Structure formats: C-alpha cells, structure tokens
Structure 1
C-alpha cells in the first residue's frame, strides 16, 4: 500500500506528525514510497524530501488546496478540495507556482486556486478528487445528474490529460458516515462508466492510531471548541495494507476492486519522479558594470565582517 494523500504537522492545526516520523512509519510498514499533501502550502517539502531520500523511501510531493472555478462567483459554498501531485520537476515547479498563485490571488479565508490558475500551471501534475469535500463528491451529494458529472470528469481530463486525472476512494468505515458511503459508491460507478482510474487513501492526518487524541485536541483548538474525545469519526493514522484491505472489505468492495485500487496507488507512485538539485545557489547571475564590480571587490571583506 502506498499512501498518496496525507498530511504532516505543516498542515497547520490540521494534522499531527513531522516528516521524519511519517517516513519512519512508511519504512516500518515496508512501503517503498509515501506522499505528503499538506493543506495550502509546501513548507515541509524540502525537509520531507531530504529525510525520505536518506531513508530509501521515495518521496511523493503534493498539496491539497481549495478550488473554485471562478473567484468572483465562488460564494461561501463554492470551494471544494483538490489534491495535486508532482509527476516530475516541471510539476514540482508548477505546484509551487499554484501555491503562490493561491496565496496572492485567491486568499479567501484560505488559499484557493481557480480554473484560470489550473489551466496555466497544470503541466507535470496529477489531480484527483474524492470524498465529500471534493468537487465530484459535492456534486454527488447535491444529486447532480450523472451526465453532468461525467461531463465534468471529461472536462478535467481535457485539462490534465486522460491518465493524469484520477478518482479517489476514501478508506474509512462507511457505516459511520452515510455521506461518504454515497460518495464512494457513486465514484466506483462513475469511474467504470468514464474509464477513469481509481486510487484509495484514508487521508492520514497523524502517524499512529494512538495519536488520535492529540489530533482531536488540535482540531478543537482550530475550531475554537472545547475538547471532547470521540468528536472525530474515523481513523486517520498511516494505515498498513492489511488495515486498508479490511476496511474496504467491511465496506463491501470485492477482492478484485480492492486489489486494483491498491495496485493503482503503487503504479501511480512509480510514475512520479521528482529529483531536487539541492545545495546550489539559485539566485540569478546579474552582470554589473566594471565600476560596480570594483566597488564590491574593495568593500566585500568589510561587508562580510559586519554581517
């Protein structure tokens, strides 16, 4: 099992666990790769990349961000969740550009991107929707016409490419969340009709199952509510393959579907290859006039001493 959707403590007040512990858990579970898709930002990506590479774990780099088709017509309910993964170095650059774009142009309560930004910075990226807060999930819960949902999926495939747009099954106990059950079941149906590849994740937000109390306390702080154990329904630790399989079996998925979902995660991760060239100066090399160069040479030692 390869997790392609999850969060570190750099998802501020949204998750528990630093990149080092995430990587160590992946090693403990014999995973070849794991993703961090923090909310709205990429603050922990360099740290995660370095630790993962050193540990022999392939780092998958992504972000989860709010999406609206048009900032001017978004309204309070017009934002949905979008997860993006970098396929390659160009995708990594575009992820950074999209996060900057979201903070500069789309900061409406939280950083958000619109179709204009997505269309400009989509090269080298994989996108997927799943769960109740995604655009497809909300369309399903709003009882949108199947043809309309299929057209929307085609629209996204036209933007990202047929192989770079995925639908996601969220591996949580559907008996505790009837809305998730509706969304998951419909996604399976729509994916089969539209020939869209599906993946599976439980959207981890902490490392161990025992970390749930800390996570619930964190969410209470974020929401300015009194802490009460058991407010969070579901398990959002980094699950093993067996745990994912058991949840999916309990939810009624066939062995064939479960096998395909898990294999799709592995296949996707194998096709994601970002290689950062760290340790180099990234500042542009500006050519100065000779008199400026002479002035710098005469004063550089003093400048260094004073700093």
Structure 2
C-alpha cells in the first residue's frame, strides 16, 4: 500500500556524528514503502547531494534537497536555534549552497557552523523553511512559556519566507514533543501559518 507521508528531515552518515543512515539503503527503503519522495537534510552540509540525487532518480523517488542549519542566538550564543531549509527550485539550491558555505567560512563558533540571519535575509528566493520544532527559536519560546515572543518570531519567519514557512509538528516520543506540538498548532491557528509533520530521522530502522 502506498504511503502518503514524506520524510522531510533525514540525516545520513554524511551528517558525521549525527546520523547513521546510508544513502542507497535509504532510497531503497523509501521506494519499498511506496513513498513518492524523501528529503535528505544533512546537519550543516550538503555533502551527500550527488549520491542522493543519482540514487533517488534511479529508483523513481523524488529527491528533496535541503539542509539542517544552526542559526545564531544573540541571547545565548552557545545555544543556537535549528532551522531546516529546502530548495524548491534552482534559485533555492544556489541560495542554500551559499548559506551553507558561509557557515563554514565565516560562521564557525563553538565547533559548529552558525548561520547569521543577515545571510538568510538576502538569500530567501526559492527556499522553503521549517521551524525546527522544539529546537527552533519559535519552539524554544513556546516551551519557555513566552507566547508573545514565539508569535513575534513566527511572524518574522513568515515575512521572510512568504507562504513558504511551516511550523513543524513532531511526535517522536522525545520529552516535550506533545506539549510543543499542541502549542505549535495553537500558534499556527492564530497566525494562519501552515504546519508540516516531520520525524527527526537518524536511523533507517527503529531497532
């Protein structure tokens, strides 16, 4: 039976210490489950892109190109926010590669490539942004009970990525998932912001 769910946040072995999924087995599993597409969003890099694209196209699976990024947190520099960017077209791909590159050449902090907001603000064309769930700036504000701040942050991203910013809903069994999910739904309803269900995938099989 064909699955309508599409994974938009998967880390492979190319995410170094943050994933063990191998690219070809991933594509094979997606095809086996009848999923039409999959998003491979490495942590702060796009090193798997060529292998992923070739494998997906060969298996009849639509490859969704993206990356998980750490975004600067002015209040707590050593505790950056998470955001996921997906390329919707070639312009988005080019902008994403520039942002990732800047993270390594100019944004190295605390052992991570940290993205500055000004880099994002000048490179929005062709990109879709996912909020980062409880690790994003909106999610962290919600989980801290700072609802007005969460609203301000969500409005910032909605303005930056018009009709291309989504509040992420995750139900992975991790602590805080349920609270974060319901708070995100309430905020989404208040702002008219679309939501998307994601699963923070680091392994191919549950066991």
Normalising by the smaller structure, the TM-score range is over 0.9
Is 1:126 the counterpart of 2:128? The answer is yes
Q: State how far apart, in whole Å, the 2-side matches of 1:35 and 1:26 are.
A: 11
SS at match of 1:84: strand
Aligned counterpart in structure 2 of residue 196 of structure 1, from 161, 168, 193:
193
Q: State how far apart, in whole Å, the 2-side matches of 1:74 and 1:87 are.
A: 31
Shift of 1:186: 0.3
Which residue number in structure 2 is paired with residue 58 of structure 1?
Answer: 62
Which residue number in structure 1 is paired with residue 107 of structure 2?
Answer: 106
Which residue number in structure 2 is paired with residue 168 of structure 1?
Answer: 168
Query: Is the CA contact (8 Å cut-off) linking 1:130 and 1:170 kept in structure 2?
Result: no
Q: Could you list the per-position Cα deviations for residues 70-117 of structure 1 after superposition, in whole angstroms to 9, with x for gaps in the alignment?
A: 5xx65223x111100001011011111000011111111201111111
SS at match of 2:19: coil
Q: Could you list the per-position Cα deviations for residues 124-173 of structure 1 after superposition, in whole angstroms to 9, with x for gaps in the alignment?
A: 101011432111111112221x2332222111111111x10000111213
The aligned runs of 1:40-119 (5 Å cut-off) are 40-68=44-72, 74-77=76-79, 79-108=80-109, 109-119=111-121
Is 1:184 the counterpart of 2:174? The answer is no
Structure 2: 5+ residue runs without aligned partners? none
Is 1:138 the counterpart of 2:149? The answer is no
Q: State how far apart, in whole Å, the 1-side matches of 2:114 and 2:193 are.
A: 25
Which residue number in structure 1 is paired with residue 149 of structure 2?
Answer: 148
Shift of 1:25: 0.7
Scaled by the length of structure 2, the TM-score of the pair is 0.93
SS at match of 2:20: coil
Q: State how far apart, in whole Å, the 1-side matches of 2:51 and 2:154 are.
A: 34
SS at match of 1:196: coil
SS at match of 2:52: helix
- Structure richer in strand, relative to its length: 2
Larger radius of gyration: 1
Shift of 1:181: 2.0
Q: State how far apart, in whole Å, the 1-side matches of 2:73 and 2:119 are.
A: 10
Scaled by the length of structure 1, the TM-score of the pair is 0.63
Paired residue total: 202
Shift of 1:69: 5.2
Q: State how far apart, in whole Å, the 1-side matches of 2:7 and 2:177 are.
A: 19
Query: Is the CA contact (8 Å cut-off) linking 2:68 and 2:85 kept in structure 1?
Result: yes
Name the stretch that deviates more: 151-160 or 79-88. Answer: 151-160
Runs ≥4 residues deviating over 3 A: none
- CA RMSD across the alignment: 1.4
SS at match of 1:12: helix
- Structure richer in helix, relative to its length: 1
